[in-house]
Amino acid sequence: MCCAIWNKYFKPLCFAPKAPDTTVERALIERRLDTVRSMCHHSHKRLIACFQGQHGTDTERRHKKLPLTALAQNMQEASAQLEESLLGKMLETCGDAENQLALELSQHEVFVEKEIVDPLYGIAEVEIPNIQKQRKQLARLVLDWDSVRARWNQAHKSSGTNFQGLPSKIDTLKEEMDEAGNKVEQCKDQLAADMYNFMAKEGEYGKFFVTKSFVLTDPTPTPYCTISINKWAEKPAFGTPLEEHLKRSGREIALPIEACVMLLLETGMKEEGLFRIGAGASKLKKLKAALDCSTSHLDEFYSDPHAVAGALKSYLRELPEPLMTFNLYEEWTQVA
C-alpha cells in the first residue's frame, strides 16, 4: 500500500525525470566536466592575456607597471618643464587623468583576478582534474578487483583436487577479493559524490562570467541572468536556508526532507536502530550530493535506510536556522 502511494503521488513530486538510468546520467556529467574544464581553461588564458599589468601582483605594483602610468608620468614631467604655460597646464591635467585611469585599471584587474580568474583556474586545474583522477583511480581498482576475482575463481575450480594448502589460499583470495570490492564501492561513491557536487555548483560557476561581463558596464546584471542563476534548480540544498530552498525550487516541502521521509516510509520502518546506527561515510556523502543536485536516481538507497536517515539528520543539522526557528526558541524550551 505504502509503495503504491509513493509511486503514484510522491515520487513524481520528489524526483523530476532526467536520464533513463544512473549510468547514463553520470556519463552525461562526465562529458560536461570535460567541456566545462576546456571552457574554463581557455577563458582563464584569454582573461590573463587581456591584462595590461603583471598577473599576480598587488594594486600598487601593478599600477606602477601599466603603460598608462608611464604615459601619465611623461605628461607630468613635460608639464613641469613647461611651467605655467597653457600647454603645461593641459599636460598636467591630462597626466592626472591618465594616472587616475591607470589606478582604476589596476584595481579592476586585481578584482577580476581575485573574483574570476583565480576561481576559473581552480575549476579547470584543481576541481575537475581531481574528479578525473578519481575516475582513473576507479578504473585501476576495478582492474585489481577483476584480477583477484579471476584468481579466486581459478583456485575455487581447482579445489576439487587435494592440493595441499589450497583451502587456505582460497580463503586468502576471498579476503583480498572482498577488500578489493569494498575499495571499488567506496571509490564509486566518492566519484559520484564529487560529480553531483560539481553539478550542484553550476549556478555558482555561472556567476563568474556574469561578474566579468557586467563589472565594467552595469553593476547590476540583466534580469535574465539574475533570474536564471537564482532559479537554477541544481543548487545545494544542504546548508541553504529553508526559505531560500523552497522559493528557488518551487516546493512546499524541502526536497531532502520529503525524499528521505518517503524512502524511509517505504523501506525503513522495520529497520532496527534507525536514526541511531550510523551509515557508511561514503554512502552518506553520495546521497547528500545526489540530493543537492536534485538527481532523480535514488533507487540504490532503498536498501540502505541508515544512509537515508543519516542524510535527513544531516540536512536538519546543517540548516542555518533550526527548523523550529530562533525566534521561537524560548517558547519551545518552555514547552519542553
pLDDT value of residue 97: 92
Beta-carbon count within 10 A of 143 CB: 12
Triad 23, 26, 31: Cα angle to 5°:
125
Q: What is the mean pLDDT of the chain?
A: 80
pLDDT, tens only, 8-49 = 333 433 333 333 345 666 677 778 888 888 888 888 888 888
pLDDT value of residue 18: 39
Gyration radius of the chain over CA positions: 29
| Better-predicted residue by pLDDT, 18 or 226 | 226
Alpha-carbon gap, residue 243 to 232, rounded angstroms: 15
pLDDT, tens only, 80-134 = 888 778 888 898 899 999 999 999 999 988 988 888 888 888 888 998 899 889 8
When pLDDT is averaged across residues 72-76 and rounded to a whole number, the result is: 91
CA distances from 264 to 238, 290, 291, 316 (A): 19, 17, 15, 16
pLDDT value of residue 220: 54
Q: Where are the domains of the chain?
A: 1-25+236-327, 56-116, 133-201
pLDDT value of residue 16: 37
When pLDDT is averaged across residues 40-69 and rounded to a whole number, the result is: 87
How sure is the predictor about 142, in pLDDT bands with cuts at 50, 70 and 90?
very high
Triad 117, 118, 124: Cα angle to 5°:
90
Question: Which of 11-25, 151-165, 213-227, 291-305 is predicted with the least confidence, judged by mean pLDDT?
Answer: 11-25
Beta-carbon count within 10 A of 296 CB: 16
Q: Are 72 and 98 in contact (CB under 8 A)?
A: yes
Q: Are 284 and 28 in contact (CB under 8 A)?
A: no
When pLDDT is averaged across residues 249-267 and rounded to a whole number, the result is: 88
- Architecture of the domain defined by 1-25+236-327: Orthogonal Bundle (1.10)
Alpha-carbon gap, residue 122 to 222, rounded angstroms: 26
Alpha-carbon gap, residue 192 to 281, rounded angstroms: 13
